[in-house]
Chains A and B, each alone.
Chain A
């Protein structure tokens, strides 16, 4: 006779071994995911949490810690050198984003429309992405060297003044922005190019028939349709600009006259040269907060605010 329960369930009751096997099967995804998580949380997560703790403590030269609450924050925000570095960072980030996105958009449109050697130019455009920040800085130093630099060679040839680029605070700041853009534009360019390629050409044909000008087409059709990719590029360029450290350190080391001393550079100075881990960690929290808030704003506007994303939900 077949027991009632079995008929109702339609399946034989599981044996202990089968239940164990079932249990193991359910553990499989966790087993796959956890090794990476150990690294991510153990190193990066720990560093963030540890940095917040450090920022609330005063660490003496024997690495003894005493809890001081927000003292480090108050001290650093009163520090004129910090205030100045924060302003420089904001100017640096805003000008890098503006120039970087403008160049990326121009290059993406060029690569989209170019009729010959498209693969070659696309491949070439990504090359700076593979040059390290330090190497970028060294190359830019030699391009902008006062005597023997490429830029002054060209300017001199045209009969124009040949300034001392890295000796002048404003010019050095501009060179730093340029070097930063050189390093970050390639990736943003290809992301935007990917966006342009997803647009159906029929839409452009329709716009041309309706008599739309090039500028109108770009503003009313191209830009709205590549909104998500614009968001991704913006996150990338502001992430890079906020965390620019190697380029500045090797290009100007924060000088001349601290003209290029961004928060990241000042953080390194405080933490590793003055050995004040508490205040250094405050700067870390500042950098993290700025970057996270900015990224979330972009995501909200460009990705989650996109009509297609809303429609998909």
Chain B
């Protein structure tokens, strides 16, 4: 008995600390864990729900007591892929995105190099002209653009999308790249000049490789702009065959019966998926660029 009473004294300092750290951990768990769960639910639920709905059977979507598809099937996807116009819309989206990424990226690399490496008259004014369009809501431009493009006879052509998408992608891409090029020490380029490299070679072999994360980020953001664009294509294109995927997704609302909700969701998933794959492949560089403040 005496032995027990002796081993029962005040809790040692270690125990106090342990309990304290438990409380600290519990507090931390609540403070970080709950918001983290909210973050994950908030981010994934809309997408997961669309995927689940796309796998359900037509009438099952209506039943409010089912969460998971009872009999998952890919029929909806098969139906989307066999829509008469689907390949055309997909092709339109891919073509417009490729052109509206490569062209603005090339133009922006040149412009950003000019802004980052040369001192010249009106430099600030010209840089401002590149920046200001970033705060112009795109949708506000559709009325005058529609009139201009009608006058030029470009409505319902790929050109109208190439031109307007390129124009709206350039300011963002240039702004990102000026930052990346500007942060490269001049000495690196100077040593290349001494070695006899001209401007093209310096740009191609020194600047672009060093600023590659910036080029990738700018490229991904150009792809995003073009792939998801809606206001311009809605205002400047009205032939069914010229639609891009987001436009067609919007039109589905009117052209589909209620029983086709699985198809509707499958179409949504298919328009989102390609861009998400691009993002997942290059996620690290894009996230790093935004977090480091290079994209604003």
Contact = CB atoms under 8 A, between A and B. Distances in A.
B215 to A, nearest CB: 15
Given A32-B110, A139-B50, A190 B287 contact: yes
Interface in A101-133: 103, 106-107, 109-111, 113-115, 119, 121-133
B130 A40 contact: yes
B141 interface: yes
B190 to A, nearest CB: 16
Contacts of A113: 28, 31-32
A153 B65 contact: yes
Contact of B145 (A43, A136, A268): A43
Interface string B203-227: 0000000000000000000001001
Contacts of A156: 64-65
A128 to B, nearest CB: 6
A37 interface: yes
A301 to B, nearest CB: 15
A268 B44 contact: no
A264 B46 contact: no
B135 A42 contact: no
A153 to B, nearest CB: 6
Interface string A166-202: 0000000000000000100011001101110110000
Contacts of B118: 28-29, 32
Interface residues of A, number: 100
B46 A37 contact: no
Nearest to B50: A139
A94 interface: no
A248 B261 CA distance: 20
B187 to A, nearest CB: 20
A194 to B, nearest CB: 4
A242 interface: yes
B230 A48 contact: no
A178 to B, nearest CB: 9
A48 B49 CA distance: 40
Given A29-B114, A110-B32, A191 B293 contact: yes
Interface in B141-191: 141-148, 163-164, 166-168, 170-171, 174
A287 B140 contact: yes
A67 interface: no
Contact of A51 (B140, B170, B231, B247): B140
Interface of B: 28, 31-32, 35-36, 38-40, 42-47, 49-50, 53, 61-67, 104, 107-108, 110-111, 113-115, 117-118, 120, 123, 126, 129-130, 133, 135-148, 163-164, 166-168, 170-171, 174, 199, 224, 227-228, 230-231, 235, 246-247, 249-250, 253, 261, 264-265, 268, 271-272, 275-276, 279-280, 283-284, 286-287, 290-293, 296
Interface of A: 26, 28-33, 35-37, 39-51, 53-54, 63, 103, 106-107, 109-111, 113-115, 119, 121-136, 138-140, 142-143, 147-150, 152-153, 156, 162, 182, 186-187, 190-191, 193-195, 197-198, 229, 232, 235, 239, 242-243, 245-246, 249-250, 264, 267-268, 271-272, 277, 280-281, 283-284, 287-288, 291-292, 295
In the A-B complex, the 4 residue pairs with the closest CB atoms: A32-B114, A243-B137, A132-B228, A50-B144
